Amino acid sequence: MSTPRKVFIKTYGCQMNVYDTARMSDVLRPMGFEQVEAAAEADLIILNTCHIREKAAEKVYSELGRLRMLKQDRAARGRDLAIAVAGCVAQAEGEAIIARAPVVDFIFGPQSTHALPDLISRYDAGERAMVETDFPARDKFDALGEKAAAAPAVPVSAFLAVQEGCDKFCAFCVVPYTRGAEYSRPPERIMAEARLLVDKGAREITLLGQNVNAWHGQGAGGTWNLARLLSELASIDGLGRLRFTTSHPNDMDDELIAAFAENEKLMPYLHLPVQSGSDAILKAMNRKHTAGQYLDLVARLRRARPDIALSGDFIVGFPGETEEDFAATLRIVREAGYAQAYSFKYSARPGTPAAERPDQVPQEVKSERLARLQDLLARQQQAFNAAFVGRSFDILLEKPGRHRGQLVGRSPWLQAVHVQARGHAIGDIVPVRVERAGKNSLSAHIMDTTTADV
Ligand code: SAH
Ligand code: SF4
Ligand code: F3S
């Protein structure tokens, strides 16, 4: 690779990958790498991959096919192009990726971001087909630590990883294998990173973890849980809003529920996946709770914070799922009531127990059930948004909109809200009144704070 060098990082999958991509860029910046937005300009291309469903993993190979052409093109013009695969496919498949796609020069797993400088110098020395996939999460965070916030600018709404990995072993899921055992970062590291993020302009922080509500750590006065961490974070001046994702129903303790009532900076939105409404399927999934327990939890959350917006994940067509099981999923959706949700056809993943089951559900059945579920979820989302017309609340302005003078902000309930700027800037928290509701967003006007436009 020549200097100065350019890196293009393509991110697939969840917010944890988005966070890791930002960390890669933190590691590369002091090495003279500039991040670019197009593969064609880059000297180094990193695919930060996702292994959660077959489609996600296969995308990587089609991308690598295209990159092979790009690399050949470059070679013909005497220029080099290094290609790396990172993330969960890297962790799950390791050197098998190179066997299938020899265009790949090196591979590193989600816990090995800090190995990047070494991998690049070995690449420069002529080494190829390198694989770095065995570090525990602890090493990763020790090595990256507060460097996470050393970027020249951070988004107004920033991610902060507090927990990584999963010990839950749901029967369908690869995450415990790709991200390893649950690990909680120490509170003082998190607090330091949060302060840096706020100093650099973050107004909102979303705490990230595969099971974020399983986070715990040794802080002042003993063991802290997530509720305690959120209350310490709320004391940071300049920080306006807090969120956290993704939560597991079984780790939702009373204090965390109460935090939605007591912590003024904690926004009334919770992503709380249930996956299925059938007790038989929940059991087969190894979720370790029933539909009734989930609904009870939702009721307790709504008692603490009546306006809380609920979001979820659903899987249709898990092995053995009958029409009756699926009907129970539609029922739990109606009973819980979602502001927003993600739903997927079950995808058999190599190495997971459910993939071995003989009673796989046919594709067309899965497609048909997914369509019915998505129809219901879309109607719920639309009704949720429609109920906001005429209401006023504060939004955090996050980015420019598509039209001139337009800005896009987020409501407390995570809806995208389009407004005309009226002299306000990204990073401002401003009061708005909603004029129109769409399927996925709201349109509003900023209220005049001096003349009390109410
Ligand atoms: N830790 C989170 C979710 C991680 S994966 C949790 O426990 O809720 C994100 C979502 O992908 C899951 O909630 C699930 O709905 C979906 N998912 C995971 N594995 C899947 C598979 N094999 N097939 C289809 N969807 C899957
Ligand atoms: Fe996967 Fe279950 Fe862990 Fe979530 S809790 S990451 S679905 S194993
Ligand atoms: Fe995908 Fe890995 Fe996230 S498998 S969903 S990128 S933890």
Q: pLDDT digit string (tens) for 206-226?
A: 999 999 999 999 999 999 999
Q: Are residues 352 and 401 in the same domain?
A: no
Q: Are residues 250 and 182 in the same domain?
A: yes
Q: Are residues 292 and 178 in the same domain?
A: no
Three-class secondary structure assignment of 6-54:
EEEEEECCCHHHHHHHHHHHHHHHHHCEEECCCHHHCCEEEEEECCCCH
Q: Are residues 115 and 197 in the same domain?
A: no
Q: According to the model, what pLDDT value does residue 3 have?
A: 63
Residue 148 lies in a domain: no
At 408, which helix (H) or strand (E)? strand 406-410
Q: What residue type is assigned to position 352 of the chain? A: T
Query: Could you tell me if 425 and 203 are in contact, meaning their C-beta atoms sit under 8 angstroms apart?
Result: no
Ligand 1, atom nearest to 343 Cα? 15
Q: State percent of the chain over pLDDT 90.
A: 93
Ligand 2, atom nearest to 210 Cα? 6
Q: Answer yes or no: is the C-beta of 159 below 6 A from any ligand 1 atom.
A: no
Q: Are residues 49 and 12 in the same domain?
A: yes
The enclosing domain of 127 has a CATH number of 3.40.50.12160
Nearest CA to ligand 3 atom 7: 175
Counting ligands in written order, which one lies closest to the CA of residue 171?
2
Residue 235 alpha carbon to ligand 2 centre in Å: 31
Domain boundary among 91, 109, 135: 135
Residue 176 lies in a domain: yes
Query: Could you tell me if 65 and 96 are in contact, meaning their C-beta atoms sit under 8 angstroms apart?
Result: no
Q: Domain of 345?
A: 268-386
Ligand 1, atom nearest to 271 Cα? 8
pLDDT digits (tens, 9 = 90+) for 136-191: 777 777 777 556 556 778 999 999 999 999 999 999 999 999 999 999 999 999 99
Q: For residue 453, is pLDDT > 50? A: no
Q: According to the model, what pLDDT value does residue 148 have?
A: 54
Tokens of 103: 């265009």
Q: Answer yes or no: is the C-beta of 349 below 6 A from any ligand 1 atom.
A: yes
Residue 224 alpha carbon to ligand 2 centre in Å: 23
Question: Which position has the higher pLDDT, 4 or 70?
Answer: 70
Query: Could you tell me if 233 and 242 are in contact, meaning their C-beta atoms sit under 8 angstroms apart?
Result: yes
Domain boundary among 334, 368, 386: 386
Q: Are residues 380 and 434 in the same domain?
A: no
The best mutation among 18, 52, 369 to test binding of ligand 1, ranked by most ligand atoms within 8 Å of the C-beta, falls on 52
Domain boundary among 360, 386, 412: 386
Average pLDDT over residues 110-114: 92
The enclosing domain of 308 has a CATH number of 3.30.750.200
Q: Answer yes or no: is the C-beta of 166 below 6 A from any ligand 2 atom.
A: yes
Nearest CA to ligand 2 atom 1: 173
- As for how many domains the chain has, the answer is 4
Q: According to the model, what pLDDT value does residue 147 have?
A: 61
Q: According to the model, what pLDDT value does residue 452 have?
A: 47
Q: Are residues 247 and 275 in the same domain?
A: no
Residue 143 lies in a domain: no
Query: CA 242 to CA 269: how far, in whole Å?
Result: 10
Q: Are residues 110 and 15 in the same domain?
A: yes
Give 199's DSSP letter: H
Q: According to the model, what pLDDT value does residue 422 have?
A: 84
Q: What is the pTM of this model?
A: 0.95
Q: Cis link prior to 246 (omega < 30° from 0)?
A: yes
